Amino acid sequence: MKEQITSVRNAIEGTLYRNVLKPILFRLDPERVHDRTLVLGKFLGSNAVTRGLMRAGFSYSNPMLEQKILGIKFRNPVGLSAGFDKDGHLTKILPSIGFGFEEIGSVSGEPCSGNPKPRLWRMPKERALVVNYGLKSEGCARVAERLRGSHFEIPIGTNVVKTNSPETVDTEKGIEDYVKAYRAFAHIGAYTTINLSCPNAFGGQPFHSPQKLESLLREIRKVKTKKPLFLKIAPDLSEKELDGIIRVASKFKVDGFVCTNLTKDREKIKIPGKNIPGKGGISGKLVEELSNRTISYIYKKTKEKFIIIGVGGIFTAEDAYKKIKCGASLIQLITGLVFQGPQVVGEINQGLVHLLERDGYKNISQAVGAEWR
């Protein structure tokens, strides 16, 4: 009965979002909508009444979705991906929306206003976004100050990056900046992700190179922390490039990978008769296959040595399940949330339970990598 009520609730909310709210929001400037959503989310998270109302409207729980990974308890596998809550304003409201975890950031060593506007575009037909924020961040000192001492209801990942500026193109300066941000969050949150793969920053993505990654991780590993470490990688890497990253990650005992960031490879995702708007990296359905390919490659190559967080183009429970069966233990999304509405988190979680039951699994962890067994 409870399951049926949740299904009806989600169906009503989804219909309202897609047919009433989204058509209005999609007429407005995307970055403005993003900024206003953050203000609203911050307000809704600020008091117990609004949090309770949100919980009643959106949350869903089922023990089949619970996992303990790297010593961290996840009540469900659906997380908010880095880039939506760059400066850590939504940590209080996201549990009520039903998220199992959140990755804040990317947060850089220094404050950065990002690339000039406009820097966010929608592709409604393709169900994708084009992102050229260029690592807008309040900087690690301010964000760490905001979050220090907070009690988090769900695990918070802190995604760190080097500041987007001409100065950090120099490898040594870039490493210093990464380490500054990493150190600021050494004791805040549940895990850290080092973002190697922003497609929109000065100097490209140099730390995908094994030599530079090795220099970076050598310095990172000097910082004392108990937090597990993830690397967020691009969807555009060849198998040879992935092999290089895996080798260095093994050497420095990295715990896992976030697969993947936005694609910058416009050739690979050419859409006949259509120009992709703006400039920058591309999300959603246009990155989904590339992301799944990367998850599968790493999982098959390394078996269960690394924890994989799968991200890119998840709109439904089936999309999430596909990534889990490819080898992801946890999944994240942004574009699916923008296109489907906040009830998508509960829809995915409830749908996952149905898919697990259909396939005879008792817990989500049993489905991880099932495609390759």
Ligand X SMILES: Cc1cc2nc3c(=O)[nH]c(=O)nc-3n(C[C@H](O)[C@H](O)[C@H](O)COP(=O)(O)O)c2cc1C
Site residues (vs ligand X, CB under 6 A): 81-83, 86, 105-106, 120, 129, 131, 133, 135, 159, 195, 232, 261-262, 283-284, 287, 311-314, 333-336
64/262 with CB nearer ligand X:
262
217/234 with CB nearer ligand X:
234
Distances (CA, A) of 347 to 11, 14, 161, 317: 9, 9, 32, 7
194/356 with CB nearer ligand X:
194
179/282 with CB nearer ligand X:
282
Q: Judge whether 199 and 164 are in contact, CB under 8 Å.
A: no
User: Minimum distance from CB of 282 to ligand X (Å)?
Assistant: 9
Residue 342's nearest CA partner among 37, 30, 125, 2 is 37
120/213 with CB nearer ligand X:
120
User: Minimum distance from CB of 360 to ligand X (Å)?
Assistant: 29
**Given strand 120-123, what is the order of strands in its sheet?**
120-123, 128-131, 281-282
51/86 with CB nearer ligand X:
86
User: Minimum distance from CB of 158 to ligand X (Å)?
Assistant: 11
User: Minimum distance from CB of 281 to ligand X (Å)?
Assistant: 7
Residue 293's nearest CA partner among 231, 213, 356, 237 is 237
User: Minimum distance from CB of 200 to ligand X (Å)?
Assistant: 9
Alpha-carbon dihedral 368, 130, 111, 228, rounded to 10 degrees: 10
10/197 with CB nearer ligand X:
197
User: Minimum distance from CB of 294 to ligand X (Å)?
Assistant: 11
Q: Cα 129 from chain centroid?
A: 14
Residue 163's nearest CA partner among 87, 116, 115, 108 is 108
13/319 with CB nearer ligand X:
319
69/333 with CB nearer ligand X:
333
Residue 181's nearest CA partner among 194, 172, 200 is 194
User: Minimum distance from CB of 52 to ligand X (Å)?
Assistant: 28
User: Minimum distance from CB of 280 to ligand X (Å)?
Assistant: 9
User: Minimum distance from CB of 41 to ligand X (Å)?
Assistant: 14
Checking DSSP bridges between strand 256-259 and strand 120-123, what pairing results, if any? unpaired
The amino acid present at 239, given as its one-letter code, is: E
154/311 with CB nearer ligand X:
311
Q: Judge whether 56 and 340 are in contact, CB under 8 Å.
A: no
CB-based closest residue to ligand X: 83
Residue 351: how many other CB atoms lie within 10 Å: 20
User: Minimum distance from CB of 58 to ligand X (Å)?
Assistant: 18
